[in-house]
């Protein structure tokens, strides 16, 4: 059995003879490798990671920001402006990604908001409203399946355990998709092919719990192991097989790695280039990026680290506006 990034791939000489299953093919429309379902006409892309660009949306400096930044995954350099959100959003709004658009859910324009924004990856314009969350809040964890965005936990006056789900194809708003095992704010989100994860956070102290919930069912999340230690304000990243968190708790530079397939304690995966909390996490196929943040003062650097090796990350460039608590997306 051949594998690509740990995913089994069967070799066929005649794709037209297949009647079911998925085949890895080049999607020229989206310029990426994607799984094509042989029972349908469309591509099924691997979600949760990008190939070309990372984005950061909203955040805080002296006030709450509506800025959307865009930076390249393929060459280092400073980010460029990519339009604005429909409203200012600080306090870690949700960051979600489809194959064509980025989304920002919740956050803080002044008080808690339930607004979901949508912006195009291909054009520099102001984001449009895309419905609302079931509970207005900030400081939740973000995850994305191929069809939906998920926002779990957060703060609405106290820590919440709500998992919201909203469709990338309809602006009808979010629905309740179950609960985390522990109510908390400031966790980080990751995504595998079938599950979302919510890692760490804060409730009467920093938490180390990793929760796992299925895209397909509305149930209470299950315990999927622990981080190396309690941590909040962390950035979340995903490869095809593992979840990562970077920074957190004020001045941490530690990267944690945990397997999507087994319930175990995370391992140390090196350090980000500059210690920080409240960075925006984005994910490329082979690398994670932590953008902006706070370590006693505001940080505007974009750090890059490898999923394959346990080493110290590198400086990849700067944001257009120095800030923390942005949402991260990828294309």
Confidence of residue 49 (pLDDT cuts 50, 70, 90): confident
Question: In this structure, are residues 160 and 183 in contact, taking their beta carbons and an 8 Å threshold?
Answer: yes
- What CA–CA distance (Å, rounded) separates 282 from 112? 24
pTM above 0.75, yes or no: yes
- What CA–CA distance (Å, rounded) separates 182 from 109? 26
What are the structure tokens assigned to 319, written together?
A: 């944001």
The mean pLDDT value for 24-33 works out to 57
Question: In this structure, are residues 256 and 268 in contact, taking their beta carbons and an 8 Å threshold?
Answer: yes
Which domains does the chain carry?
2-45 (no CATH), 53-330 (2.120.10.80)
- Predicted pLDDT at 16: 42
CB within 8 Å of 1: residues ≥ 6 apart:
8, 9, 10
- What CA–CA distance (Å, rounded) separates 293 from 49? 21
Strands 209-214 and 298-306: unpaired
CB within 8 Å of 180: residues ≥ 6 apart:
152, 153, 161, 162, 163, 187, 198, 211, 213, 220, 221
What are the structure tokens assigned to 41, written together?
A: 């006409």
- Predicted pLDDT at 26: 63
- 254-292 residue pLDDT tens: 999 999 999 999 999 999 999 999 999 999 999 999 999
Q: Which percentage of the chain shows pLDDT scores above 70? A: 86
Residue 329 pLDDT > 60: yes
User: What's the distance, CA 238 to chain centroid?
Assistant: 8
The mean pLDDT value for 242-249 works out to 97
CB within 8 Å of 155: residues ≥ 6 apart:
91, 112, 137, 138, 139, 140, 185, 186
- 172-227 residue pLDDT tens: 999 999 999 999 999 999 999 999 999 999 999 999 999 999 999 999 999 999 99
Supply the DSSP symbol for 284: B
- Predicted pLDDT at 251: 86
- What CA–CA distance (Å, rounded) separates 24 from 299? 39
């Amino acid at each position: 059995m051949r594998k690509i990034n740990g995913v089994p791939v069967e070799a066929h000489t005649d794709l037209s003879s297949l009647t079911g299953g998925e085949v890895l093919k080049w999607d020229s429309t989206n310029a990426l490798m994607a799984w094509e379902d042989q029972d349908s006409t469309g591509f099924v892309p691997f979600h949760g990671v990008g190939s070309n660009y990372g984005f950061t949306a909203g955040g805080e400096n002296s006030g709450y920001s509506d800025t959307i930044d865009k930076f390249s995954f393929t060459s280092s350099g400073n980010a460029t402006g990519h339009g604005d959100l429909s409203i200012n959003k600080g306090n870690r709004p949700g960051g979600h990604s489809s194959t064509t658009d980025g989304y920002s859910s919740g956050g803080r324009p002044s008080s808690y908001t339930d607004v979901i924004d949508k912006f195009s990856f291909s054009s520099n314009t102001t984001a449009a409203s895309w419905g609302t969350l079931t509970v207005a809040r900030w400081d939740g964890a973000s995850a994305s399946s191929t069809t939906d965005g998920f926002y779990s936990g957060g703060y609405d006056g106290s820590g919440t355990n709500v998992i919201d789900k909203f469709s990338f194809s309809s602006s009808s708003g979010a629905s309740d998709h179950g609960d985390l095992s522990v109510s908390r704010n400031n966790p980080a989100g990751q995504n595998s092919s079938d599950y979302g994860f919510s890692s760490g956070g804060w409730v009467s102290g920093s938490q180390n719990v990793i929760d796992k919930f299925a895209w397909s069912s509305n149930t209470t999340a299950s315990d999927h192991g622990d981080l190396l230690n309690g941590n909040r304000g962390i950035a979340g990243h995903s490869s095809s097989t593992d979840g990562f968190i970077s920074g957190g708790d004020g001045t941490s530079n530690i990267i944690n790695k945990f397997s999507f397939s087994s319930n175990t304690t995370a391992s140390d995966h090196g350090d980000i280039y500059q210690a920080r909390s409240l960075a925006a996490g984005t994910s490329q196929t082979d690398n994670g990026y932590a953008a902006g943040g706070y370590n006693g003062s505001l940080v505007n650097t974009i750090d890059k680290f490898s999923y394959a090796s346990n080493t110290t990350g590198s400086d990849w460039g700067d944001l257009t506006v120095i800030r923390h608590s942005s949402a991260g997306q990828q294309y």
